């Protein structure tokens, strides 16, 4: 598919008003997306677990307006106007307008709320952009009833990508790949796809306990971080490595080989942060407590053989991943040993999920 496939047909009559609500989850990458080309095209393919508990709920109320000259919208977070989020939505509307030409015909009231606290250090851009894209797709579906479910999800993912790259992996569950990779049939740079190969039962109810090590704003945004991959001395090897890791994951997923899974997931997390540390300018997002947690996970795994591992986002928080079968042991270890490293002892118990859903 190409971009052109997402241009809509002529619409019939536009409804005068309506209201739609979608809830979209966050996701955690196993193979990381870090580095992009123009137009939100990823420099390498990535794969993620769709989460369940960490999610954004967005309600879009739309009312037809007389003039079609510009975008008109109000944005509310937890019922309060949120002016500083508006430029991001404005940019998003500009990027997707060709694909959703009705955007200038309405005034939109966008009401959004997250299940996780705004200041938790968990980015809401993936779940937020996914939820908004699904609401907009729902409007398009009202204008063109011939849209099938498969196209609906693809285009929602395509739109979400233009809002925030990793958001394209937050439409469906439970294992999503985004980015062209010769080893994965039907993979695309334009949208995420459900992983098309066999996935062992052991991955079915995977847990992700998110340890909130540092809840403040990041010092370096992911937009800046992605851009620093342009002249990065290790960029080409890193991109190659991501392709290689996706190849390796194929048999790991089908056989349920947790030892090898852990090796790739932890290496990917540390490589992401190694790219940050070797950018120019360089930066470090991990905190001393991030390191303490990693070391404790390694010791615990060595002593007990419990297959628990970590991954990291672009921040100091640690995602602790483990299969359903070791849930009790893992939770006990987390509570006894790791929670002490969290800011105010805060953590979130999440797990692999089935993707976004429409409410009301
Ligand atoms: O979607 P963005 O532009 O915020 O980038 C997210 C990048 C990482 O979270 C660090 C990795 C990933 O693949 O999700």
Residue 272, pLDDT score: 98
In angstroms, what is the span from residue 34 Cα to ligand 1's centroid? 6
Residue 192, pLDDT score: 98
CA separation for the pair 294, 155 (Å, rounded): 38
Please tell me the residue having the least CA distance from ligand 1 atom 6. Answer: 166
CA separation for the pair 142, 205 (Å, rounded): 35
In angstroms, what is the span from residue 45 Cα to ligand 1's centroid? 12
In angstroms, what is the span from residue 37 Cα to ligand 1's centroid? 14
- How many CA atoms lie within 13 Å of 249's alpha carbon, on the beta-carbon side? 28
User: What backbone phi and psi angles, to 5 degrees, belong to 124?
Assistant: -95, 5
Positive or negative, the CA dihedral 186, 187, 192, 196 is positive
Tokens of 138: 């729902």
- Point out the ligand 1 atom lying closest to the alpha carbon of residue 165: 1
In angstroms, what is the span from residue 78 Cα to ligand 1's centroid? 24
Best residue for ligand 1 mutational test, from 27, 34, 125 (most atoms within 8 Å of Cβ): 34
CA separation for the pair 242, 264 (Å, rounded): 10
Q: Which residues, 6 or more positions from 45, have their beta carbon under 8 angstroms from its beta carbon? A: 31, 33, 177, 178, 179, 180, 181, 184, 187, 242, 243, 246
Within 10 angstroms of residue 165's Cβ, the number of other Cβ atoms is 24
Task: Return the bridge partners of 48, or none.
Answer: 29, 176
- Point out the ligand 1 atom lying closest to the alpha carbon of residue 33: 13
Q: Which residues, 6 or more positions from 240, have their beta carbon under 8 angstroms from its beta carbon? A: none
CA separation for the pair 316, 314 (Å, rounded): 7
Regions of the chain where pLDDT drops below 50: none
Q: Which helix (H) or strand (E) is 130 found in, with range? A: helix 125-143
Task: Return the bridge partners of 347, or none.
Answer: 211
In angstroms, what is the span from residue 12 Cα to ligand 1's centroid? 38
Whether the Cβ atoms of residue 213 and residue 293 lie closer than 8 Å to each other: yes
Residue 218, pLDDT score: 74
Residue 317, pLDDT score: 95
Which string of DSSP letters, residue by residue, matches 211-280?
E-S--SPPSS-HHHHHHTTTT-TTHHHHHHHHHHHHHHHHHHHHHT-HHHHHHHHHHHHHHHHHHHHTSS
Best residue for ligand 1 mutational test, from 54, 313, 317 (most atoms within 8 Å of Cβ): 313
Tokens of 274: 């190694």
- Point out the ligand 1 atom lying closest to the alpha carbon of residue 167: 1
CA separation for the pair 98, 77 (Å, rounded): 27
Whether the Cβ atoms of residue 174 and residue 355 lie closer than 8 Å to each other: yes
Q: Is the pTM of this model over 0.85?
A: yes
- Point out the ligand 1 atom lying closest to the alpha carbon of residue 166: 1
Residue 215, pLDDT score: 81
Please tell me the residue having the least CA distance from ligand 1 atom 9. Answer: 313
In angstroms, what is the span from residue 136 Cα to ligand 1's centroid? 23
The residue among 26, 120, 62, 38 whose CA lies nearest residue 356 is 26
Residue 112, pLDDT score: 97
In angstroms, what is the span from residue 272 Cα to ligand 1's centroid? 10
Best residue for ligand 1 mutational test, from 29, 44, 239 (most atoms within 8 Å of Cβ): 29
In angstroms, what is the span from residue 165 Cα to ligand 1's centroid? 7
- Count how many residues are written for the chain: 360
In angstroms, what is the span from residue 123 Cα to ligand 1's centroid? 9
CA distances from 71 to 57, 92, 133, 140, 142 (A): 22, 11, 16, 17, 20
- Point out the ligand 1 atom lying closest to the alpha carbon of residue 28: 14
- Point out the ligand 1 atom lying closest to the alpha carbon of residue 32: 13
Give the helix ranges, DSSP H, for 184-234.
Answer: 222-227
In angstroms, what is the span from residue 134 Cα to ligand 1's centroid? 20
Q: Which residues, 6 or more positions from 33, have their beta carbon under 8 angstroms from its beta carbon? A: 42, 43, 44, 45, 46, 165, 166, 178, 179
Tokens 């479910």 sit on residue: 149
Q: CB within 6 Å of ligand 1 — which residues? A: 29, 32-34, 46, 123, 125, 164-166, 222, 226, 272, 313-314
In angstroms, what is the span from residue 28 Cα to ligand 1's centroid? 9
């Amino acid at each position: 598919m190409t971009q052109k496939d997402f241009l809509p047909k002529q619409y019939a009559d536009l409804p005068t008003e309506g209201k739609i609500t979608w809830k979209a989850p966050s996701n955690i990458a196993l193979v990381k997306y870090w580095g992009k080309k123009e137009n939100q095209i990823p420099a390498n393919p990535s794969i993620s677990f769709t989460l369940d508990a960490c999610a954004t709920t967005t309600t879009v109320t739309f009312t037809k307006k007389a003039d079609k000259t510009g975008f008109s919208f109000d944005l509310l977070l937890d019922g309060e106007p949120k002016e500083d989020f508006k430029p991001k939505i404005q940019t998003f509307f500009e990027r997707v307008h060709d694909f959703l030409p009705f955007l200038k015909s309405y005034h939109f009231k966008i009401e959004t709320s997250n299940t996780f606290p705004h200041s938790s250090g968990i980015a809401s851009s993936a779940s937020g952009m996914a939820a908004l894209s699904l609401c907009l797709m729902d409007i398009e579906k009202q204008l063109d009833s011939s849209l099938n479910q498969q196209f609906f999800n693809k285009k929602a993912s395509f739109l979400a990508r233009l809002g925030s790259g990793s958001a394209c992996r937050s439409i469906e569950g439970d294992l999503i790949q985004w980015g062209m990779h010769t080893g994965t049939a039907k993979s695309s740079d334009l949208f995420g796809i459900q992983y098309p190969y066999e996935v062992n039962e052991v991955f079915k109810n995977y847990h992700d306990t998110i340890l909130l090590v540092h809840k403040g704003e990041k010092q370096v945004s992911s937009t800046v971080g992605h851009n620093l991959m342009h002249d990065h001395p290790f960029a080409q090897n890193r991109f190659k490595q991501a392709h290689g890791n996706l190849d390796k994951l194929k048999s790991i997923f089908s056989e349920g080989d947790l030892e090898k899974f852990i090796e790739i997931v932890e290496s990917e997390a540390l490589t992401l942060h190694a790219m940050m540390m070797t950018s120019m300018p360089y930066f470090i997002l991990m905190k001393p407590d991030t390191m303490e947690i990693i070391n404790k996970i390694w010791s615990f795994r060595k002593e007990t053989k419990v297959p628990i591992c970590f991954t990291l986002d672009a921040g100091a928080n640690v995602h602790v991943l483990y299969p359903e079968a070791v849930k009790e042991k893992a939770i006990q270890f987390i509570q006894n040993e790791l929670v002490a490293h969290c800011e105010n002892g805060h953590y979130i118990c999440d797990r692999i999920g089935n993707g976004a859903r429409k409410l009301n």
